Structure 1
Amino acid sequence: MQDDKAGQDVLRFAPSPNGWLHLGHAYSALFAHEMAQRLGARFLLRIEDIDIGRCRPEYEEAIYEDLRWLGIDWEEPVRRQSEHFADYERHLKRLRDMGLVYPCFATRKEIQDAIIATGIPLQNWPVDPDGAPLYPGIYKDISRERLNDLLWDGRSYAWRLDTEKARAEAERIAGGPITFIEEGESPRGHKGRITVQPELFGDVVIARKDVPTSYHLAVVTDDALQGVTLVTRGQDLFPATYIHRILQVLLGLPEPRYHHHGLIRDETGRRLSKSARDMGLRELRAAGHSPQDIRRMIGL
């Protein structure tokens, strides 16, 4: 784990190359870069490409091109997550050895059927902060014999964090409730020292059989290895900090500060996204817009 130079803050922008960057990405990148400049901090670019099925080389190249066009520079080399699976696997093994994760073989249909079997209408079943139904625990307490049969059959599975046990162990290690410092503003307007609520996610997926990590595990690993001291990102990722802080305590990783910023939205109030095919920076540039135009569009 590298130390920050002479107490310098370290910030980062960490896009995924699974689509073209849009105005929301421009805001997040410029926000982090300009804060780093104000703080006299180091600024890193990280490519979060663990989703090897959706990430594309052309999207990654476009990230570098778009950011340079915006006037953003960064330290080299750029860390690409797909080149560091061993780092994540090491942390996953530690969680396994602690008895805090378990293999879950449930398909989406199995999860849906299990929810329906409870008699609770699907629309009334609790969802996590990302909108996914909370896991109903289908494979959480199966017998060792049943587990061995499923593994022998070659079934696909995900590693889920036993969130209740993980929180209890993290609090035992920390000697009290797990918190983090929010320097920006939570979606509810809170800032300062905030207590985590990981139970909102239920038993969240931490890794998969074929990819030994998830966003949650990879981001805390990378931030620690890169010495990131201040995490800036959109308010949509604020709840993820609940899981990240639990993992940081369990894995003995340093605690960064956090600054969650507002989101760029369209005229209806919907936040911009790649999945909605919102206009990318490359298209705006092709239409003749300048970096100054982009700044005006996003209010910087």
Structure 2
Amino acid sequence: MTVPVLRFAPSSNGPLHLGHAYSALLNFSMAQAEEGRFLLRIEDIDIARCSRYLEEGIYRDLSWLGIEWEEPVRRQSEHFDDYAEALQNLIDAEIVYPSFMTRGEVRAYISDCEAKGVPWPRDPEDAPLFPPVDRQRSTAERRRRMAEGEPFAWRIDMAAACSHAGRNLAWEESGSGSKGETGLVIAQPELWGDVVIARRDLPASYHLAVVVDDALQGITHVVRGRDLFQVTAVHRLLQELLGLPVPRYHHHALILDASGRKLSKSQGDTSIAALRAAGAEPRDIARMVGLGIP
């Protein structure tokens, strides 16, 4: 019988808030209920924004909440070679390409098309899809621009990747998506267009790093916020392309503020540390996020 393995994977770029507490407590309680393992992963691949100081704060908050995890903690910044190997496999399969267009060039290209009456397609988060310009460049031009040191990102050639992976992409969902989807969910990665997989100075984007991490850590159940439900299609595509195991998914409800907005580090939403300093107890946090843990 396979032992369930769950994980909580925060980024060390800010303090934990109530939304993080809910996800961490839910993962931990589900692992305990299934007599499984609970792992902690620090997603610090963005070394410019992440810090050890903030990481230590994560450990303090989780310990205070009564959460225990296995050691050692996986820190993404210590595993760049794993992501570089996965990226090279995608490069060798010719399903990624270097993208040189700046944000300004992308905006100008799309604006020009829309000015001509061409409606521009958008992804599930309502962001415009990436233009085909870089995908259509010749191999010679790509090599020249890379050799000259021009900044670029690696993007997945979504059409080629979907053709390579086949049409039977799906995942088992025990939570719910934006429309209440449960059970077998058909993945539609093509809706996201040519997403960024890595950058010249970083061997992986979130999408690539998370599927590699989950596979190497043996994660069997991915329990995370509903805001990541749609993009799971991209993760399923990468798992298929890289020959990685497919965990079960559970996308839980989000903790919202009074205006209905998702809590965010960047917006300075009240941190767990601040609530603790104000006199809150761990059981208060559990009640605040609706778990009712005694």
Aligned runs of 1:167-182 on 2, under 5 Å? 167-171=162-166, 176-182=167-173
Deviations 1:224-280 (A, max 9, x none): 101000000000001121011111111111110000000000111111011111011
Mapped partners of 2:191, 2:13: distance in 1: 27
- Correspondence 1:141 to 2:136: yes
- Pick the aligned partner of 1:86 from 70, 73, 81: 81
Aligned runs of 1:163-202 on 2, under 5 Å? 163-171=158-166, 176-202=167-193
**Runs of 4 or more above 6 Å deviation:** none
Deviations 1:81-101 (A, max 9, x none): 000000011010000111100
SS at match of 1:96: helix
Mapped partners of 1:127, 1:87: distance in 2: 32
Mapped partners of 2:77, 2:116: distance in 1: 39
Match of 1:277 in 2: 268
Match of 1:28 in 2: 23
The 1:120/1:14 distance shift into structure 2, 3 A limit, reads farther
Q: How many residues align?
A: 290
* TM, length-normalised to structure 2: 0.96
Deviations 1:105-143 (A, max 9, x none): 111101101101213599x64332344321012211112
- Pick the aligned partner of 2:210 from 219, 229, 232: 219
- Pick the aligned partner of 2:252 from 258, 261, 280: 261
CA RMSD of aligned residues (A): 1.4
Match of 1:105 in 2: 100
Match of 1:246 in 2: 237
- Correspondence 1:205 to 2:200: no
| Contact 1:28 1:234 survives alignment (8 Å) | yes
Mapped partners of 1:45, 1:240: distance in 2: 22
Mapped partners of 2:231, 2:42: distance in 1: 19
Match of 1:40 in 2: 35
Mapped partners of 2:267, 2:279: distance in 1: 23
Match of 1:231 in 2: 222
CA deviation after TM superposition for structure 1 residue 153, in Å: 2.2
CA deviation after TM superposition for structure 1 residue 148, in Å: 2.5
Which amino acid letter does the alignment assign opposite residue 163 of structure 2? A
SS at match of 1:65: helix
| Contact 1:111 1:138 survives alignment (8 Å) | no
| Contact 2:114 2:120 survives alignment (8 Å) | no
Match of 1:286 in 2: 277
- Correspondence 1:299 to 2:290: yes
- Which residues of structure 1 form unaligned runs of 5+? 1-5
- Which residues of structure 2 form unaligned runs of 5+? none
- Residue identity over aligned pairs, in percent, reads 56
CA deviation after TM superposition for structure 1 residue 197, in Å: 0.9
- Pick the aligned partner of 1:158 from 153, 161, 164: 153
| Contact 2:154 2:197 survives alignment (8 Å) | yes
The 1:268/1:121 distance shift into structure 2, 3 A limit, reads farther
